Amino acid sequence: MNDQTAQPTSREERLAGLPLREDLRGQHPYGAPQLDVPIMLNVNENTYGVPQDVQEAITRSVREAVSSLNRYPDREFTELREALAEYLGHGLTPEQLWAANGSNEVLQQLLQAFGGPGRSALGFPPTYSMYPLLAAGTGTAYLKGVRDADYELTADSAARQVRELAPNVVFLCSPNNPTGTALGLDVVEAVYEASEASQAIVIVDEAYAEFAQLGTQSALTLLPGRPRLVVSRTMSKAFALAGARLGYLAAAPEVTDALRLVRLPYHLSAITQATALAALRHRASLMSEVEAIKHQRDRIVKELERLGLRPASSDSNFVFFTGLADPQRIWRGLLEAGVLVRDVGIPGSLRVTAGTESETSAFLSRLEELLEEEQA
Ligand SMILES: *Cc1c(COP(=O)(O)O)cnc(C)c1O
């Protein structure tokens, strides 16, 4: 039984032995650590949880949906699209709305329809880590644009890169994850114009739009007359429904027609639709949580400045900060105190989600201790 020794031993080797697509070989899956710690401030969830009245409304709505689970759900999720259009405003009609299981699936469907083999998608790193993974999964080439100093992206620079690279899809993340800052609408306008030649679909990922600072404008205002512009949103952050998986977009009606060609039939379960509808109808208490989160976010920015660090201006529910001599040591020190934050792999930096008041206090006081140790 000598050839036993030639048998692959590790899972990695066994995976390599499978007839996997060449372009997926050596790729790594999305892998933000899911550790069981008391204070989880690493994936920008809504830390305040689902308010009691919303929980009860969802429970009632789901209970009703359960009675007809023997039937396929409304394939067109008509009621949900109406509710989403009403929520977004800006004169949007239900036929301009589309939803899927998280905005990740919305983005994947966009790439299935407008990307794919022989086509390319442009992103501007550091940005949302899922863009290259979704591109890989759909066989779309991922092009990496460059940012200016302090991770800013100006209209001129973005437009020039779009003209040079002529992508089929452009990802603009606003506010950008991991840096937290919103893009000016001038950038979106310039990119859209520059993409005329390559007829690119321009996606503005506004996952954190509800946390924007006063005066920040949504790209929704730019939709009229721009049939290649798409604005994606999610209920995972402001609506505290990361576990429910509901993302959506607003665009020209013909964009949603394109997505019907690639979506799986009945992709939005009756339970998901019932959950999202109940949350949208009872959003008042959710929106007051958003205000509380913004308050904690602003508090983090102020405190980090006091500690001599450099937080980026944040339009989101998280803060990206630089100025750390040894971010890994700080990350570990925080974890030892039960506080999980995100090391996004950018030198001297970490990212933290705004927690509840007590979670934020725990983060700030532990961080201060760790920085003092450094000085001692
Ligand atoms: C969290 C996040 C999303 C949301 O993903 P879902 O699939 O809706 O949970 C989308 N885009 C960005 C930039 C994010 O940070």
pLDDT for 125-150, tens place per residue?
Answer: 999 999 999 999 999 999 999 999 88
* Residue 29 pLDDT grade (very low, low, confident, very high; cuts 50, 70, 90): confident
Entry field: residues in the chain: 376
Same domain, 163 and 292: no
242 lines ligand 1 (CB under 6 A): yes
- pLDDT the model gives residue 4: 52
Can you list the alpha helix ranges (DSSP code H) found in 34-149? 52-66, 78-88, 103-114, 130-137
Record the tokens describing residue 113, joined without a space: 């329809």
pLDDT band at residue 58, thresholds of 50, 70 and 90?
very high
> So what's the pLDDT on residue 375?
81
Would you give the DSSP letter of residue 325? S
Q: Say whether 351 sits in a helix, a strand or coil.
A: strand
Q: Which residues contact 14 (CB under 8 A, 6 or more apart)?
A: 8
Residue 32 confidence class, pLDDT cut points 50, 70, 90: confident
Cβ–ligand 1 distance for 206 under 6 Å, the answer: no
Same domain, 123 and 254: yes
Q: What CATH number should be reported for the domain holding residue 305?
A: 3.90.1150.10
Mean pLDDT of 19-48: 89
**Interval 243-257: pLDDT, tens:** 999 999 999 999 999
Indicate the residue among 263, 281, 299 that finishes a domain.
281
- Res. 67: pLDDT tops 80: yes
Q: Which tokens belong to 368?
A: 């201060």
Amino acid at 220: L
DSSP state of 95: G
Q: For a substitution probing ligand 1, which of 130, 232, 233 has the most ligand atoms within 8 Å of its CB?
A: 130
Provide the token pair at 2.
């000598």
Task: Examine the domain organization and report whether 207 and 306 are in the same domain.
Answer: no
Mean pLDDT score of the chain: 95
Average of pLDDT values for 44-51? 94
Instruction: Report the SS3 class of residue 38.
Output: coil
- Average pLDDT, integer, range 100-110: 98
In a shared domain, residues 227 and 317: no
Considering the domain architecture, whether residues 276 and 242 belong to the same structural domain is answered as yes
For ligand 1, whether the C-beta of 171 sits within 6 Å is: no
Evaluate if residue 117 carries a pLDDT over 70. Answer: yes
Q: Is the CB of 316 under 6 A from ligand 1?
A: no
Claim to verify: residue 259 and residue 202 sit in the same structural domain? yes
Please tell me whether residues 269 and 366 are part of one structural domain: no
Pairing of strands 169-173, 120-123: parallel
- Alpha carbon 243 to its chain centroid, in Å, reads 14
pLDDT above 90 as % of the chain: 91
Is there a domain that residue 264 lies in? yes
Q: Are 345 and 365 in contact (CB under 8 A)?
A: no
Rounded Cα gap, residues 252 and 101, in angstroms: 20
According to DSSP, the β-strands at 310-311 and 318-322 are: antiparallel
Q: Are residues 242 and 346 in the same domain?
A: no
- Look at phi and psi of residue 32 and say left if phi exceeds 0, alpha if psi is from -120 to 50, else beta: beta
Cβ of 247 closer than 6 Å to ligand 1, yes or no, is yes
Q: Does 247 lie in the same domain as 296?
A: no
Q: What is the mean pLDDT of residues 31-39?
A: 84
Together in a domain, 44 and 74: no
**Closest protein CA for atom 14 of ligand 1:** 207
Going from the Cα of 247 to the center of ligand 1, the distance in angstroms, rounded, reads 8
What pTM does this model have? 0.95
Strands 318-322 and 350-353 turn out to be antiparallel
Q: Which among 224, 274, 222 is positioned nearest to 246, based on CA atoms?
A: 274
The verdict on 364 and 248 lying in the same domain is: no
Answer yes or no: is 20 within a domain.
no
Run of H or E residues at 255: helix 253-260
Q: Is 102 in the pocket of ligand 1 (CB under 6 A)?
A: yes
Please indicate, yes or no, whether residues 63 and 146 belong to a single structural domain of this protein: yes
- Please report the pLDDT score of residue 1 as a whole number: 45
Q: Is the pLDDT of residue 2 over 60?
A: no
Total domain count, the chain: 2
Closest CA to 61 of 269, 248, 277: 277
The whole-angstrom separation of Cα 136 and Cα 138 is 5
Which residues form the domain of 366? Answer: 39-50+285-375
Domain boundary among 262, 281, 300: 281
